[in-house]
Chain A
């Protein structure tokens, strides 16, 4: 099973700042099968990015993804108030599919 480790666990930033979230895999994975989700309190997770860098429908262009091999990054270029929530990474190409433990982006 591929373990995904997200860092940091909590990221404290101010609105308008740039956020960089990291996800490291325990073994190399195909960039075609890597995604990021956003989850707001009490809501369902929302697909943000798939295939490492492709934004899902309706996702603002301030969200971008990059990476390869074992290291992947979600970047939020300028944080909006609604972005201060939890983010999960996900690999879906090596069964069983696995998720990271989450990064919480909080207001500094």
Chain B
């Protein structure tokens, strides 16, 4: 059974930093690209970042470029999102999600339960 478990969410002051983790199990983690998607209060889902297999390439939404970094440790089956210079509009539930296929454009077939990041003074 595929499981994705996020952790690391917290209340942080504007300008602060957090590192989110996503522990994966039930599939060959190293074979799949992974994404982060967030859900802000009163808004729809927003794609944040994608990292390809082996970390060969990473992609970030313009709204977080220069502040967030995505990485993975295939030996630990874990996905990370380093979040710096946090702003109030980064407040959201952050989900990690697995790409459905090992390559190419594809939907996100499994999602974690999410971890809450709240940015406030």
Contacts and interface: CB of A to CB of B under 8 A. Distances in A.
Nearest to B96: A44
Nearest to A47: B109
A45 interface: yes
Interface residues of B, number: 23
Given A43-B113, A44-B113, A88 B44 contact: yes
A45 B111 contact: yes
Contact of B43 (A44, A56, A98, A101): A101
B47 A100 contact: no
Interface stretch (B10-18, B73-81, B84-92, B99-107): B99-107
A102 B40 CA distance: 12
Contact of B47 (A33, A45, A96): A96
Contacts of B43: 101
Interface residues of A, number: 24
Given A92-B106, A96-B61, A44 B47 contact: no
Contacts of A101: 43-44
A91 to B, nearest CB: 9
20 contacts: A6-B44, A44-B4, A44-B113, A45-B37, A45-B97, A45-B108, A47-B110, A90-B107, A92-B105, A92-B108, A93-B105, A96-B47, A96-B59, A97-B47, A99-B37, A99-B44, A99-B46, A99-B47, A100-B44, A101-B43
Interface of A: 6, 32-33, 35, 37, 43-47, 50, 56, 88, 90, 92-93, 95-102
Enumerate the 5 nearest inter-chain pairs by beta-carbon distance, A residue then B residue, closest first: A101-B44, A44-B111, A99-B45, A35-B107, A50-B107
